[in-house]
Structures are given as C-alpha cells and as structure tokens.
Amino acid sequence: MRFMGIDLAWGKGSKNKKANESGVVLLGSNGDIEDAGWAVGISETIDWVKSHTHEDMLLFVDAPLVVNNESGQRLCEKQVGQRYGRWKVSANSTNKHSKSLAGLQLREELEKLGWLYSDGCSGPPRSGRYLSECYPYTTIVGVEELGYVDERPVYKRKPGKMKNMKMPEFRRYRARQCDKLISRITKELSATKPPIYLASHRETRCLMKETSPMSAKEYKHREDLLDATLCAWTASLWFHKGKQRCQVLGCDDPLSEIHRATIIAPARKGQR
C-alpha cells in the first residue's frame, strides 16, 4: 500500500483567476517520500494522481469531499470543535451553498477513474484505491508524539487573541511556530510506527533545511507542502493502526445521500 496526501486548494479557479496551489505528497510503505511538490487546479492534481497510481493506494485529502447538508456545518466539522476544541482546533463550515467545493469535483473525477470513497466507519480498507477526508490540525494535536499538550501551533491564520500584534511581528512568530512543527515531525514521526522521513525527498528535505519565509506567498507555498505531508502520513497511520490511533468524525451523521461526510482524525485515548 502507498499513501497520498493532498492539501487541496478549495477554490477551483476561473478563466480570469488561476486556482491556488495544492500540495501533493506520495509516501511509500517504508516511510520514504517517493514524490512531493505542487499542482495547480483540479486537472493538474488529477494528472499527478494518475501518474503515481498503483494497485493499492490510500489518498487523504484536506478538503471537503462529501457535502450533503443544505446549510450550516457538516456534523464531522462540528465534531472537530467538540473533540479538538481544547487545543483551539475547529473547522470551517461547509454546505451545498459554499462557494469553494473543489474537493467534490476531485472525488467525482477520481471515482470515474475507478477510485472509491471510504468514509472510514468500518475501518481502513486493506486493498484497492480509496480516498478519504482528513484535517491536518487534528493530526498535529491528536498525535501525542508531537507534544502539543495545551494548544495547536499557530502556523496558519492570525488568531483573534493576536489581533493587536502587527503583521510583520506575527509573520516572524508564525515562521518560528512552523519551523518548530517541522522539527517535531522530523524527529518524532521518523521514530514512530509507521514512520515518515522528510529527508528522503528533496522538496520535503527543504522543509527541514530552510527556515520559513516572511513573504505571504512563499510561506503559503511551504505550508501547502507541509500539510500534504501530514495528510499522507495520516493515511499511513490510519492504514496501519486504524481505530487504535484514529477516530472517524461524522459516522453518526443521518444526512447520507450516496456517501457519508466524515473526517478521519488521529486521536488520543481520552478523545475517543
């Protein structure tokens, strides 16, 4: 089994505006990263998946793949806040009227190519090609080895508690947080079962060797690859450890058309 991670840009782009980059990572069963980089738009992302498809694959995507609710928030998103809120982790609301739903198109296009969506409620698939939804923040705080006991690292948007911090100062703070997170992943997840070795590919090796940039565009480029890496490793953790180390958010959602909307999330024992 090989494991793919995609940090998908939720917006599809348009004729007048290119889609944002999506980070993409292919992880081997031994923990080596076989490919890593970026794709722009759904078609380029699909092409990347096709070029690396093997018989048995598990793809985890950071983006809504199934949306059945007309309004409000999906149950799996509510449960992110309920079960990870103590670490200041919550999820954006998604419904059928949301503007950015590129994940649905990605799933539908991959299903045409023979991939199957797995909601995870019956455990990880053992063979075949499957895709599921994940959320890197739940991995960061749900994996004890990474050591985030009290709060998630602030490596993305500026939180409300820092509203008085000037942007240049916040960007320096965010860069330090990101570099500490990468350092923990490098050290701790290379020693876990299953492992991941950032040094095994030139692009993820750059995450280790280079400090996070101050430029918003360059920083987002780096962050997308980091999140795709976390997605790929989460797929490996789910395959190898299943519900011993993960929980499936949204399994009890009564809103199910063809697929049930779920998020597969690493969890500490006390969360399950």
Percent of the chain with pLDDT over 70: 97
Q: Is the pLDDT of residue 69 over 90?
A: yes
| pLDDT attached to residue 14 | 64
Q: Is the pLDDT of residue 222 over 70?
A: yes
Per-residue confidence band for 12, with pLDDT thresholds at 50, 70 and 90: low
Q: Is the pLDDT of residue 229 over 70?
A: yes
Q: Is the pLDDT of residue 10 over 80?
A: no
| pLDDT attached to residue 65 | 98
Q: Is the pLDDT of residue 13 over 70?
A: no
CA distance 234 to 248: 12
**8 Å CB contact between 4 and 49:** yes
For 30, the 3-state DSSP assignment is coil
**Phi and psi at residue 70, in whole multiples of 5°?**
-70, -30
**8 Å CB contact between 56 and 1:** yes
**8 Å CB contact between 4 and 36:** no
Q: Is the pLDDT of residue 17 over 80?
A: no
Q: What is the DSSP string of 146-166?
A: G--SS-----SSPPGGGTTS-
Please state whether the predicted TM-score (pTM) of the whole model is above 0.85.
yes
| pLDDT attached to residue 254 | 86
Per-residue confidence band for 117, with pLDDT thresholds at 50, 70 and 90: very high
Angle at 52 between CA 46 and CA 53, to 5 degrees: 85
Which residues does 51 contact at the CB level (< 8 Å), separation at least 6? none
Q: Are strands 21-27 and 2-7 parallel, antiparallel or unpaired?
A: antiparallel
| pLDDT attached to residue 187 | 98
Per-residue confidence band for 257, with pLDDT thresholds at 50, 70 and 90: confident
DSSP-derived secondary structure letter, 38: E
Q: C-alpha dihedral over 107, 112, 113, 115, to 10 degrees?
A: 50
**8 Å CB contact between 194 and 244:** no
Could you report the per-residue pLDDT of 161-215, keeping only the tens digit for each? 898 999 999 999 999 999 999 999 999 999 999 999 999 999 999 999 999 999 9
For residue 77, CA distances in Å to 8, 9, 65, 138 come to 17, 18, 12, 11
